[in-house]
A and B are shown apart, each in its own frame.
Chain A
Amino acid sequence: MQRSRLDHKWAGYAVAALSVGVLTLLLKVVGTHVNATTVSLALLLNVLFIATRWGSVPALAASILAMLCFNFFFLPPFGTFTIAAADNWIALLAFLLTAVTAGQLSASAKKRAEEAETGRREIERLYAELRDAFGRASHAEALRQSEKLKSALLDAVTHDLRTPLTSIKASITTLLDEVRGRITGEPPVALDAESRVEMMEVIDEESDRLSRFINGLIELARIEAGELQLRRRWGVVEEIISAALTRAEPITREHRIELDVENELPGVRVDERAVSEVVYTLIDNAAKYSAKGSTIRITARRAGDESIQMGVEDEGPGIPSELRERVFDKFFRATRDGDIPHHQPTGTGMGLAIAKGIVEAHEGTIWIESGRNGKGTRVMFTLPIGDEDVVDEKQYTSATVETR
């Protein structure tokens, strides 16, 4: 730290000289009413002040000066430096001792204060350093965690991209081999028409699977970026379900579908296509993970004044309660990652994550419970009905467009 100008030794001498001079003058003007003791105490205080402020050396100078002034102006015989009485020597000694002692005391006090200050600053520095290090460490840890997560996600994604690609590559090279063999007259590859069709079917299906997966990725990315654009308008629950059922028809042919929709359900202000997507995903899962011929039950009813509750239930093996949260994580597949035995093609691991994103964007909730009698899986979700006063202009525009 830089010392201020007043802290300088020379300033101490100057103040010492000046203050003693001014004090002497003042006491002299007040005159004879002041006795020698008062004068000596006043001067002593002055020396004390100099000592605490500037240390013992300027104080010593002040004390000598004060002693001289005291002697010259206030001790008889006045106007001389002669000291008549012995006790005046004692006064002089007192001046000197006070100066030195106070100076030392103040110096050591100052030193201690400085040491304490340095210590405090050191602790502060260490603390800041520690905090920085800690911050850096936790930042690094967070980064590491997020890197780990990223690489796990990348693993999942590459696996899901590579699996269909492997089947496509194997199919196409099998077909290619046969064609090439025919051209070059190589040893014949016995690939009958049926096998050829099968290979092409695999290519077709696996391309669709890749495409579905990529669409899912895009949708998930949108949801995660908070860019899911809901086109809310007043819709009818029955229509939403029926749209999903129509779409799911090819995958539910071998299941029994049971509909249980409460009478006179109110309209809901939602993005119908998005909600229909949710219902479709749930039906798709139900069909995928339950036996042929079993029943898939779709329900919709009011839940309180402000929301409706929908659900899709299957008679499959069910999801253990400890996995019921995790199945909503993206790329998590209970059959692959959760030790549930299966012999079925699995999904993309994104359906439920997307469904959750859509439901939550509507301020609803989605969860999983056991089906009837504690068997199977029941996925439930709620949707707020919406403010009845809201009239969506879009509804009219699209209505006019649609009634061509």
Chain B
Amino acid sequence: MTDQPRILVVDDEPQLTRVLRTGLKSRGYDVRAAADGLAGFEAFNDWHPDLVITDLAMPNVDGLELCRRLRAISQVPIIVLSAKGEEKTKVEALDLGADDFVTKPFGIDELLARVRASLRRAKAPPINEATATVLDSGDFHVDLESREITVRGKPIHLTPKEFDLLVYFIKHSGKVLTHRTLLAALWGGNYVEQNEYLRVFVGNLRKKIEPDAATPRYILTEPWIGYRFDSGQN
């Protein structure tokens, strides 16, 4: 029982929590449900789940506030359930630290895939920023000291900014990164509105690392939101 990953589902829609509880349980997850952000936060403190799936629009404490509160105390993976038309809130949730999102209505497969990816990422050994000298992830091997990168065994040459961007992607592999998050991380807070900067660098990086830059498989675009990096692991 203890090796079952624990998932906390937070949604004010009882029918949906009912379905998710059954659907996720059938895949071997241990599931608890909460009807709003407040109950969700309490359940989190009480039960310490491995992953949180939360709706955005809820009475009392909404999904955004829940993300904020959870991030203040934990790095637990958060998957946000959002509807078309809630893009702004979705981006806000991701900026607040949510890891991924699923758009309603969704098939259980899609949700399960996101759940697996998020859990896998959370389980990966944390990178010790201070002492790590090498990053190994999927098709990528990075020597942080000599600043050398190989993709699928082939060395590639990157500008310093491209190198930083790729390292950031690798470190946050699988997670949805908003334009704002990437810009703030790479260029600093003054550049968070300069999406075109990012587009240029991502374009150049894709030309250098993707087998086919037109149909990228590593740096995936999340339309209107940002990018998701897939290192080719699994």
A266 to chain B, nearest CB (A): 44
Q: A162-B105, A169-B107 are in contact. Are A199 and B13 (CB under 8 A)?
A: no
CA distance A169 to B106 in the complex (A): 6
| A189–B27 CB distance below 8 A | yes
CA distance A326 to B16 in the complex (A): 28
| A170–B13 CB distance below 8 A | no
Is A363 at the interface (CB under 8 A from chain B)? no
Is A158 at the interface (CB under 8 A from chain B)? yes
B86 to chain A, nearest CB (A): 10
- Count residues of A near B (Cβ-Cβ below 8 Å): 33
CA distance A195 to B23 in the complex (A): 8
Q: A169-B105, A345-B15 are in contact. Are A159 and B83 (CB under 8 A)?
A: yes
Is B203 at the interface (CB under 8 A from chain A)? no
B12 contact set on A, CB distance < 8 A: 336
Q: In this complex, which of B16, B83, B106 has the most chain A Cβ atoms within 10 angstroms of its Cβ?
A: B16
Q: What number of A-B contacts does a CB cutoff of 8 Å give?
A: 83
A164 contact set on B, CB distance < 8 A: 15
| B35–A343 CB distance below 8 A | yes
| B26–A168 CB distance below 8 A | no
A345 contact set on B, CB distance < 8 A: 14-15
Select A336's contact among B25, B59, B85, B109, beta carbons within 8 Å.
Answer: B59
A187 to chain B, nearest CB (A): 9
Is A124 at the interface (CB under 8 A from chain B)? no
Is B60 at the interface (CB under 8 A from chain A)? yes
In the complex, the chain A residue whose C-beta lies closest to that of B110 is A173
A233-257 Cβ-contact flags toward B at 8 Å (1 or 0): 0000000000000000000000000
Is A65 at the interface (CB under 8 A from chain B)? no
Is A309 at the interface (CB under 8 A from chain B)? no
CA distance A42 to B22 in the complex (A): 117
CA distance A167 to B104 in the complex (A): 9
Is A144 at the interface (CB under 8 A from chain B)? no
In the complex, the chain A residue whose C-beta lies closest to that of B58 is A336
Is A205 at the interface (CB under 8 A from chain B)? yes
Q: A168-B105, A170-B105, A174-B23 are in contact. Are A163 and B85 (CB under 8 A)?
A: no
In the complex, the chain A residue whose C-beta lies closest to that of B81 is A166
B92-119 Cβ-contact flags toward A at 8 Å (1 or 0): 0000000000001111110100000000
| B15–A205 CB distance below 8 A | yes
Is A228 at the interface (CB under 8 A from chain B)? no
A205 contact set on B, CB distance < 8 A: 15
Q: A169-B105, A169-B107, A345-B14 are in contact. Are A195 and B26 (CB under 8 A)?
A: yes
| B18–A162 CB distance below 8 A | no
Given contacts A165-B105, A167-B13, A343-B35, 17 further A-B contacts (CB under 8 A): A158-B83, A159-B83, A162-B83, A163-B16, A164-B15, A167-B15, A167-B16, A169-B106, A169-B107, A170-B105, A171-B23, A173-B23, A173-B107, A190-B28, A195-B22, A202-B19, A342-B59
A residues at B contact (CB < 8 Å) = 155, 158-159, 162-171, 173-174, 177-178, 189-191, 195, 198-199, 202, 205-206, 335-336, 339, 341-343, 345
By Cβ-Cβ distance, the 5 closest A-B pairs, closest first, are: A173-B107, A169-B105, A174-B23, A166-B105, A167-B15
